[in-house]
Amino acid sequence: MSTASASSAFTTASTRVPERARRAGWLALGLWLAAGAPAPAELVVLTGGEVLKVSGYEVTGERVRLALATGGELVLPLLRVERIVEDEIVDETPVPEPVAESPFTLGFIPGQAFAVPRFAAEIAAAAARHDLNPRLLAAVVSAESAFDPRAVSRKGARGLMQLMPATAARFGVAARELFEPERNLEAGARYLRWLIDRYDGALHLALAAYNAGEGTVDRYRGVPPYRETRRYVLRIYELFGVTPTPR
């Protein structure tokens, strides 16, 4: 069985975003625009596959207000939003796959050992149900929420595996359940296994899709050239303990 350890390398810093901070961010964006400075753009991927380029957004409860890059605003139910990713193109050098000789498996093997500060039993159970290496699942939880079941990002992602309500609904978990560790892990583990199968075991593509959405990975035919996504994939490699191929 897996074991929990406070000495794990996994971080435990909180990622909660209070309402006051979200509103401050929206105000800062307005002041930036008023000053005539170019605002950082982001892409909002909707559940129907449409992509909106926005100069800012604010999540309030179950709705999101978008400042469209072309001008004007749009208010949508958060359930319409699949992803929000930075529209920041970096160099086209592909993110490498893990080396074939790395001693890891993506599937579940009874008795696999892993050390986490919290939720070891729940992670092990979800990993077993969905044939995932619990160390991989724990690495995703660490990178996404630092094991904080109440974590909320300013994009509206929630819980241990930082799922958007629309993504959780695809895998049978309601938005109101996302702060329940077992239910969040159930949806997140199902989604991660689905992505691994979809990309024929290519870990770098599955992780990129978990961060930026499978539609984005398909559109770029690989890991998209977004700084956030590329750093995310390499961070999971580090936490999972695998080595990328030399560039």
Q: Determine contact, residues 168/143, Cβ cutoff 8 Å.
A: no
The long-range contacts involving 13-22, CB below 8 angstroms and separated by at least 24 positions, are 13/146, 14/146, 14/148, 14/151, 15/145, 15/146, 15/148, 15/151, 15/152, 15/153, 15/162, 16/148, 16/150, 16/151, 16/152, 17/152, 17/153, 17/154, 21/154, 22/58, 22/59, 22/60, 22/154
Q: Could you tell me what percentage of the chain is helix, strand and coil, using 3-state DSSP and rounding each to the nearest 5?
A: 40, 15, 45
Q: What strands, in cross-sheet order, belong to the sheet with 42-46?
A: 73-77, 63-68, 51-60, 42-46, 81-86
Pick the catalytic residue: 42, 144, 186, 214? Answer: 144
Distance CA 133, CA 1 (A): 13
DSSP 78: G
Quickly list H helices, 153-180. 165-170
> Strand 115-116 vs strand 3-4: parallel, antiparallel, or unpaired?
parallel
Look up 144 and say whether it is catalytic: yes
Identity of the residue numbered 229 = T
Paired tokens of 166: 């629309």
Q: Which residues are catalytic?
A: 144
